[in-house]
A and B are shown apart, each in its own frame.
Chain A
Amino acid sequence: MIVDMEAIATAYLDTVVTGVAVSGETPRNTSQSWVKVTQIGTRVVGNADVDHFHAYHIQFDCYASEGGPVGQVEAFDLYQDVRAALVNLPGTTTDAHISTVRFTAALRLPDEAFEPPRQRYVLDAHIYAGAYDGVSS
């Protein structure tokens, strides 16, 4: 059984990281900073015959409200907040046992589709979790 980790991580960050929009899509208002959550992939951990425990590869785009040096600081602060929040994600939600969050990369990658390029940090994380049925411990 698989869980919607993109939704779990989005709801979690939306609660913990206050003052910014957290969503799986770009918000209409891009003049404020936001976090975009995208699931890149999923793989079974351990016995491939048992579809229970997975590593969810999630990309967190931490966008500033503007470009340039001011935006760079803003994007970094947001990235720092998101990263710190995700450290505390492991535990049990109503849907999943989350055991570990492992960060694999973080890069500053301004989004060139904006003019001027919008400051952004991209954080990649692997979230290890199993489905939780509310009964098992």
Chain B
Amino acid sequence: MAFLPNPRFLQQLEVEDGTVQALEEAAEEVAAGANELRHSFYREPGAVLVRNESSRVAANVYVVNTDPGGHMDEWGSVNNEAYAPLRTAVSNAGLEFEESPKQS
């Protein structure tokens, strides 16, 4: 009897409730850390949010900064340092930071 590996094993594992829940917990920790680190001009509390857009075929859990000045906070400008709340919060949560910017 031959062993036939499930070609969709990783994808199925990724969308398991437990996996998505673990991702959400990590994302919540990152978001909380980023909200602490923010130096934004638009001081809205809790502007960094977790968005879970997972489906039955993909686990997509995002940490998003909804602050209109968030890009200046993250990458700096001529007037302010790059405080990098999102990038720093990822590292502070014990995760390795990888960037994968949206390709145009």
Contacts and interface: CB of A to CB of B under 8 A. Distances in A.
A95 interface: no
- The majority secondary structure among interface residues of chain B is loop
Interface centre among B77, B91, B99 (most CB of A within 10 A): B77
Contacts, number: 50
Given A105-B101, A124-B99, A112 B72 contact: yes
A109 B82 contact: no
A40 B71 contact: no
Interface string A89-118: 000000000000000111101011110001
A111 B87 contact: no
A107 B75 CA distance: 10
Interface residues of B, number: 20
- The majority secondary structure among interface residues of chain A is strand
A26 B78 contact: yes
B99 A104 contact: yes
A111 B78 contact: yes
A38 to B, nearest CB: 5
Contact of B82 (A38, A112, A118): A38
B23 interface: no
Query: What 7 A-B pairs come out closest when comparing CB atoms?
Result: A105-B99, A113-B77, A104-B99, A113-B79, A40-B84, A113-B78, A111-B77
